[in-house]
Every structure is written in C-alpha cells, then in structure tokens.
Amino acid sequence: MSTDKVLSSPSFTMDGQIRKLNGDGFNLYQYPDYETYKEIQQEGNRRKIDWQFVPQSHIALCAKFVEDTVGPVRFGLCHGTRSGAEQSWFSEALSGKPEVLGTEISDTAKDFPNTVQWDFHDANPDWKGKADFVYSNSWDHAFEPLRAFSSWLESLRPGGVMLLDHTAGHVARKANQLDSFGIKRGRFQRLLRTEFGATAEPMDPLDFTTANPDYPAHVLVMRKR
C-alpha cells in the first residue's frame, strides 16, 4: 500500500492484533480498536506520571520564537502534556501570562492545572480559530497523525503557528506500542508540506540542537494561512 495512504486511511486492525506498519521513512502502530489505544496510553501515562520530557529551557526558546513571530499571545494550546508543566512554562515566558491549555488523554488530567482531558486527535469546536500557537512534543503518540495535525491547525487563527518538536526520540525506529508514530525529520517536513501546505505555510525548522544541549531538538513550524 502507498505509505501516505496508510497515514490517511482508517487505522484499526481487523484481526484483533496490534501491528507495526513500516512506511517510507516512518513507522506507525495500528490497534484493534480505540479502547485498546486509549488503555495503552493511560497505562503509560500513569506509569510515567513523575517524568518530565521537555525542559523549561526548550519551552522558553519556543515561547520567544512564538512572540517574535505572531506578536502578543492571547491563547495557546499544548497537546499531550501529562503533568501540565509546558503550558505553565509557556504562560510564564509570554508577555502578560496568557491562557495556555494542555490536552491529556488520561484521566490524570484532572490532577493538573490548565489541563483538559481530551484526545488530541479530535478537533474541539471551542478552540476553532482561537489559538495563537499550538505546541506538541507528544505527536508521536498519535495513531492517526494526520487527523491530529488537521485538528491542531484548525484551532489556529490566521497567522498562528504550530510547533512540533523533533528529537532523537521521534524517529521511525523509536516507534512502539506507546509511542505509536515515528518519522524521519526530512520526511516529516515533506509530509506536512504535502498534506497541509494549502492550509498552512511551512516555515524554516528551528534548530535548537546547539542552543540547548539539554534537549537537542529541531522544531518544525507551520504558519496558518
């Protein structure tokens, strides 16, 4: 099957198995049903509830880029936020401490401020066209990544930016049942441009690998048209 078709077509397996699809530059896990996917994510969330993946130093760099690019921020969204650190770090780093909400699929969301229990694949009508920026380092937990990115872009106002971290942990071979999607950076850039170029303009990726050795990341950026 053509690999991009795998990314766009319904993704549940028909035989009750969890299966890894090997694509061109990416790997994607498929689940027998949504409940299995959600159960795996909730179990991973609870097991790692005290872990923090992204450091504050990276969020500070992203916040500066956002403010320099879009101007004053009134509302932002972060997706897959576990204990809610990144949304509070964004808010602190941005002028006027704007509202920044995080989504989290796990019911542990209720334990953390500014965190909404919400599956990030789903577009939230309350957020449509409202966000000045969307940020995620958790897109590799998507089982339908194109649906997730489409929902995130829908929540941006014209001129708003979507920031997606790409680290050594986001490459194809790192995909597993919990981190369901992994993709090479260049392939990821091409995919975003091909699938969403009409809605959002790809900007030059941010290279923070030297600026922040604590969290060597590139950040892929799409700006809503």
Ligand X SMILES: C[S@@+](CC[C@H](N)C(=O)[O-])C[C@H]1O[C@@H](n2cnc3c(N)ncnc32)[C@H](O)[C@@H]1O
Q: What is the DSSP track for 100-138?
A: EEEEESSGGGGGSTTEEE--TTS--GGGTTTEEEEEES-
Pair type for strands 26-30 and 131-136: unpaired
213, 220 Cβ separation under 8 angstroms = no
CB of 71 to ligand X, least distance (A): 25
CB of 168 to ligand X, least distance (A): 13
Contacts of 39 (CB under 8 A, 6+ apart): none
CB of 111 to ligand X, least distance (A): 12
Residue nearest ligand X, Cβ-based: 80
Q: Which lies closer to ligand X via its Cβ, residue 88 or residue 106?
A: 106
Site for ligand X in 188-217 (CB under 6 A): none
Question: If binding is defined by CB under 6 A, does position 119 make contact with ligand X?
Answer: yes
CB under 6 A: which stretch of 21-29, 125-133, 134-142, 155-163 binds ligand X? 134-142
Residue 79 φ then ψ, to 5°: -115, 130
Site for ligand X in 75-94 (CB under 6 A): 80-82, 86
Contacts of 139 (CB under 8 A, 6+ apart): 79, 80, 145, 148, 149, 164, 170, 181
Amino acid identity of 69?
T
56, 85 Cβ separation under 8 angstroms = yes
Contacts of 74 (CB under 8 A, 6+ apart): 98, 99, 132
- DSSP secondary structure letter of residue 192: H
CB under 6 A: which stretch of 16-24, 50-58, 92-100, 202-210 binds ligand X? 50-58
Q: Which lies closer to ligand X via its Cβ, residue 65 or residue 89?
A: 89
Pair type for strands 26-30 and 181-183: antiparallel
Residue 124 φ then ψ, to 5°: -100, 115
Q: Which lies closer to ligand X via its Cβ, residue 80 or residue 160?
A: 80
CB of 10 to ligand X, least distance (A): 16
Question: If binding is defined by CB under 6 A, does position 165 make contact with ligand X?
Answer: no
Q: Which lies closer to ligand X via its Cβ, residue 26 or residue 90?
A: 90
Among 103, 115, 151, 155, binds ligand X (CB under 6 A): 103
CB of 82 to ligand X, least distance (A): 3
Question: If binding is defined by CB under 6 A, does position 41 make contact with ligand X?
Answer: yes
Question: If binding is defined by CB under 6 A, does position 45 make contact with ligand X?
Answer: yes
- Binding residues (CB under 6 A) for ligand X: these are 41, 45, 52-54, 80-82, 86, 103-106, 119-121, 137-138, 141
